[in-house]
Structure 1
C-alpha cells in the first residue's frame, strides 16, 4: 500500500491497556514453555496497530511541525505513550515471573529475556507523569529546531538548507552561513538552556524514583545495553582518545595539505577538496532511479526491498520550511513497511543519509517478513541497529558512481575520512552527557565550558575563531540526540567500529563482506551487539588494543587514496 493511502485512526488507549492486562495474566499463567512462547508472539502482535498509528502521527508531524492537526496527534502520543510503555512493562514482569521463562531464551536467543529485564528495571507507573513531561520538552525542542528559518543570500533558509553554503569555496560565504545559523541558536539561547536544564532534572528524577544514582546509570538499562556497561564504554572512549585521535591529527593534516588551507578554522572543516566537495547528481527522480539500479545490482534481497520502498512512496527526503531537521527510519508494522525521512540539501550528505536510512529500512523489511521473529525483536538495540545503516553506506560503494559520476573517487575519500573522524566527535558527545547527568547543577556557561574541554581532548585541531554560538561552547545544542534521546550517540561510534571493519573487508572481497552483512542482518534483534559482531567475524571494540589496529589501517588507506 502506498503511504498516501495509509489511513490514520487515533487508537483507543483504554482498550489497549485492558488488552495489556489480559496478556499479562496469560503470560503469568502459561502452563508450560510452549504456551509461554505463543503468548510472547501474541503480545508482540498486540501493539502493531498502536505503533503504526503512533508512527504515522510522528511522520506527519515531523514532515510539517506547523500543522496543528498533527501537532495535536503528536501531543496525544506524548501524553499517552508512557502509560502504554508501562503497560508493556507489566507484561514483561509477568513473563519474568513465569517459572518457564527460560523457554523464551531457548527459543528466541539471549536478548528476549534480557531485554524484558531491562524494561522492568527501566520503567514503572511511578514515572508516568515525568515521562509525559519529558516528551513535551522534546516536542518543544523539535519546534524550536524545526521552525528555524534564517536569512542568507536574500533567502529564507532552513538549517539543512545552509549545507551548500557551508561548503562554498569562498570562506566569507562559509562564515556567513555559520553566523546565520549561530544567530538563530543564540536568539533562542535562553529557551535552549532552560529546556536542557529541565530535561536533565527530569530524567535524573526518573532515575532516582527507580533507585538509580542518576540518568547516566538508568540510560544503559533503557537503551537495552546487553553484556556491557559504563566501564566498557569508558574503556572504548579511552582507546579513541589515546589511539584514534593521534591518527586523526594525521588525517586532518592531510586534509589541510589537500585543500591548501594552511590554518583551517571551524568554518573551513567542511572543505575537503581545493576545487570543491563532491556533489551528487541533481534531481529527486534521477537519484531515486540510481538507487533502484544500485540496489538491484547489489543483491536479490535489496532489489525486492528498493522496489517495495519506491513503489509505495516510503521516502520523504526533500527539505522544506516547517520540516523537522535530521533523518530517520521508522516502521509501520501493520503494513510491514519501513519509512525513510530526510532533509536533502544537494551535498554529499544526501547520499550518506539515503544509504544510511536504507540500511535501517532493509533490516526492518527483512525482519518483518520472517515469521519466526516477533515484532518487538525485529530490531536489535541501537548500537547494533546502527551497524545495518553505517555498514550499508560502505557496502554500496561499487555503485556510488551512479550517484556521483566524475566525483566518485572524491566521495569515497570524503566518506571514509568523515566516518573515521566521526569517532572523536561521537565520543565527545557521550562523555559530555555523562558529565551533565552526573553534575546536574552546572550552569549553562559551565556546561559550555565542559564542552570546550572535550573539544580540546577529542578534536584538538579545531579553532573556533570567535565564531558566535560555537565559539562559546554551545555547539552541542545543535545535536538533536542530546535533547531527544540522551546517551544514544555512542551507539553510532560502536556501529562505526563495525562499519569500518566491513569497509576494510570489502576492499579485499566485497562478496564475502556482503554475505557477512546479510548474515548479521538476518539475526534481527535476536542477538546482542557482541554476538552480532561475532556472527560477522568482526572484532569487539571493548577489548584493549582492538581499536588501534583498525585506526592504523584506516589511516594507511586514506594516505594511499588522496585525490583532488
Structure 2
C-alpha cells in the first residue's frame, strides 16, 4: 500500500489501557512457559495499531511542522504517550513476576528479559506529568528548528538548504552561510538557553523521583543498554581521546594539504578538495533509479526491499520550508512498512542519508517478515541499530559510481574520512551531556565554556575565527539529539566502530563482509551490542587497546587514497 493511502485514526487510549491491564493480568497468571511465550507474542502485537497511528502522526507533523491538524495530533501523542508507555511497563512487570519468565530468555535471547527489566526500572507513574512536559519541550525545540528560515543569496532558505553554500569554494560564501545560520540561532538565543535548562531540570527530576542521582544514570536504563554502563563508555571515550584524536590530527593535516588551505578555520572544514566536494547526480528520479539498481545488484534481499520501499512511496527526502530538519527511519507496524524521512540539499550528504536510513529500513523490513521475531524485538538497542545504517553506507560502495559518476573516488575518501573524524565529535557530545546533567545549575555561558573545553580535547584543530554562535561555544545547540533524545549520540560512535570494521573487511573480501552483515541483521533485537559484534566477528571497542589498531588502519588507508 502506498503511503498516501494509509489511513490515520486517532487511537482510543482508554481502550488500549484496558487491554494493557488485561494482558498484564494474563502474564502474571500464565500457567507455564509455553503459555508465557504465546502471550509475549500477543502483547507484542497489541501496540501495533497505536504505534502505527503515532508514527503516521509524527511523519506528517515533521513533514510540515506548520500544519495545525498534525500539530494537534502530535500534541495528543505527546500528552498520552507516557501513560501508554507506563501501561506497557506494567505488562513487563507482570512477565517478570511470573515464575516461568526464564523461558523467554531461552526462546528469544538475552535481550528480552533484560529489556523488560530496564523498562521497569526506567518508568514510574509518578513521572507521567514530567514526561508529558518533556515531550512538549521537545516539540517546542522542533518548531524553533523546523521553522528556521534565513536570508542568503537573495533567497529565504531552511537550515539544510544552507549546505551547498557551506561547501562553496569561495570562502566568503561559506562564511556568509555560517553567519546566516548563526544569526538565526542567536536571534533565538534566550529561548534556546531557557529551553535546554528546562529539559535538563525536567529529566533530572524524573531521575530523582525514581531514586537515581541524575538523568545521566537513568539514561543508561532508558536507552536499554545491556551488558555495559557509564564506566565502559568512559573507557571508550578515553580510547578515542588518546588513540584516535592524534591520528585525526594527521588526517586533518592531510586535508589541509589536499585543499591548499594552509590555516583552515571552522568554515573551511566542509571543504575536502581543492576543486570542490563530490556532488551526487541531480534529480530525485535519477537518484532513486540509481538506488534501485544498487540494491538490486547488492543482494536478493535488498532487491526485494528497495522495490517495496519505492513502489509504495515510502520516502520523503526533499527539503522544503516548514519541514523538520534531520533525517530518520520509522516503522508503520500495521503495514509492515518502514518510512524514510530526510532533507536533501544537493551535497554528498544526500547519499549518506539515503544509504544510512536504508540500512535502518532494511533491518526493519527483514525483522517484520520473520514470524519468529516478536514486534518488541524487531529492533536491537540504539547503539546496535546504528550498525545497520552506518555499515550500509560502506557496503554499498561498489555501486556509488551510479550516484557520483566521476566524483566516486572523491566521495569514497570523503566518506571514510568523515566517518573516522566523527568519532571525536560524537564522544564530545556524550561527555558534554554527562557534564550538563551532573551540573544542572550551570549558566548558559558556563555551558558554552564547557563545550569549548571539550572542543580543545576532541577537536583541537578547530579555529572558530570569531564566528558568531559557534565561536561563543553554542554550536551544540544545533545538535538535535542533545535536546530531543539525550545520551543517544554515543550510539553513533559505538556503531561507527562496527561500521569501520565492516569497511576494512570489505576492502579485502566484500562478499564475506556482506554475509557477516546479514548474520548481524537477521538477529534483529534478540542479541546485545557485544553479542552482535561477536556474531559478525568484530572487535568490541570497550576492551583496552581495541580501537588503536583500527585507528591506525584507517589512517593508513586515508594516507594512501589521497585524491
1:33 maps to what in 2? Answer: 33
Q: Which runs of structure 2 are paired with 1:363-378 in the superposition (5 Å)?
A: 363-378=363-378
1:468 aligns with 2:468: yes
1:430 aligns with 2:430: yes
- Gaps (5+ residues) in structure 1? none
Tell me the alpha carbon deviations over residues 30-78 of structure 1, each in whole angstroms, 9 at most, x when there is no partner: 0001100011000000000000000000000000000000000000000
C-alpha distance in structure 1 between counterparts of 2:173 and 2:152, whole Å = 9
SS in 1 for 2:384: helix
C-alpha distance in structure 1 between counterparts of 2:515 and 2:110, whole Å = 23
After TM superposition, what 4+ stretches of structure 1 lie above 4 angstroms from structure 2?
A: none
C-alpha distance in structure 1 between counterparts of 2:215 and 2:328, whole Å = 25
* CA-CA distance at 1:484 after TM superposition: 0.1
C-alpha distance in structure 2 between counterparts of 1:315 and 1:353, whole Å = 12
C-alpha distance in structure 2 between counterparts of 1:484 and 1:123, whole Å = 18
C-alpha distance in structure 2 between counterparts of 1:198 and 1:88, whole Å = 27
TM-score, length of structure 1 as denominator length: 1.00
1:483 aligns with 2:510: no
Tell me the alpha carbon deviations over residues 110-131 of structure 1, each in whole angstroms, 9 at most, x when there is no partner: 0000000000000010100000
1:81 maps to what in 2? Answer: 81
TM-score, length of structure 2 as denominator length: 1.00
C-alpha distance in structure 1 between counterparts of 2:462 and 2:171, whole Å = 16
C-alpha distance in structure 1 between counterparts of 2:184 and 2:43, whole Å = 46
2:144 maps to what in 1? Answer: 144
2:439 maps to what in 1? Answer: 439
SS in 1 for 2:547: helix
1:218 aligns with 2:218: yes
1:228 aligns with 2:228: yes
2:100 maps to what in 1? Answer: 100
1:309 maps to what in 2? Answer: 309
SS in 2 for 1:130: helix
* CA-CA distance at 1:339 after TM superposition: 0.1
2:164 maps to what in 1? Answer: 164
Tell me the alpha carbon deviations over residues 485-511 of structure 1, each in whole angstroms, 9 at most, x when there is no partner: 000000000000000000000000000
1:9 aligns with 2:4: no
C-alpha distance in structure 1 between counterparts of 2:224 and 2:465, whole Å = 40
1:263 maps to what in 2? Answer: 263
C-alpha distance in structure 2 between counterparts of 1:207 and 1:200, whole Å = 11
* CA-CA distance at 1:536 after TM superposition: 0.0
1:388 maps to what in 2? Answer: 388
1:357 maps to what in 2? Answer: 357
* CA-CA distance at 1:517 after TM superposition: 0.0
C-alpha distance in structure 2 between counterparts of 1:305 and 1:376, whole Å = 21
Q: How many residues align?
A: 563
C-alpha distance in structure 1 between counterparts of 2:423 and 2:277, whole Å = 21
* CA-CA distance at 1:273 after TM superposition: 0.1
Tell me the alpha carbon deviations over residues 404-439 of structure 1, each in whole angstroms, 9 at most, x when there is no partner: 000000000000000000000000000000000000
1:332 maps to what in 2? Answer: 332
1:557 aligns with 2:557: yes
Tell me the alpha carbon deviations over residues 445-495 of structure 1, each in whole angstroms, 9 at most, x when there is no partner: 000000000000000000000000000000000000000000000000000
1:545 maps to what in 2? Answer: 545
Q: CA RMSD in A?
A: 0.2
* CA-CA distance at 1:270 after TM superposition: 0.1
Q: Which runs of structure 2 are paired with 1:486-501 in the superposition (5 Å)?
A: 486-501=486-501
* CA-CA distance at 1:225 after TM superposition: 0.1
1:251 aligns with 2:251: yes
Tell me the alpha carbon deviations over residues 256-291 of structure 1, each in whole angstroms, 9 at most, x when there is no partner: 000000000000000000000000000000000000
C-alpha distance in structure 2 between counterparts of 1:363 and 1:181, whole Å = 35
C-alpha distance in structure 2 between counterparts of 1:371 and 1:526, whole Å = 13
Tell me the alpha carbon deviations over residues 286-327 of structure 1, each in whole angstroms, 9 at most, x when there is no partner: 000000000000000000000000000000000000000000
C-alpha distance in structure 1 between counterparts of 2:80 and 2:63, whole Å = 21
* CA-CA distance at 1:554 after TM superposition: 0.0
1:283 maps to what in 2? Answer: 283
1:402 maps to what in 2? Answer: 402
SS in 2 for 1:546: coil
C-alpha distance in structure 2 between counterparts of 1:407 and 1:356, whole Å = 20
C-alpha distance in structure 2 between counterparts of 1:522 and 1:484, whole Å = 29
SS in 1 for 2:340: strand
- Gaps (5+ residues) in structure 2? none
* CA-CA distance at 1:11 after TM superposition: 0.1
1:204 aligns with 2:227: no
1:294 aligns with 2:302: no
1:457 maps to what in 2? Answer: 457
1:132 maps to what in 2? Answer: 132
C-alpha distance in structure 1 between counterparts of 2:223 and 2:508, whole Å = 35
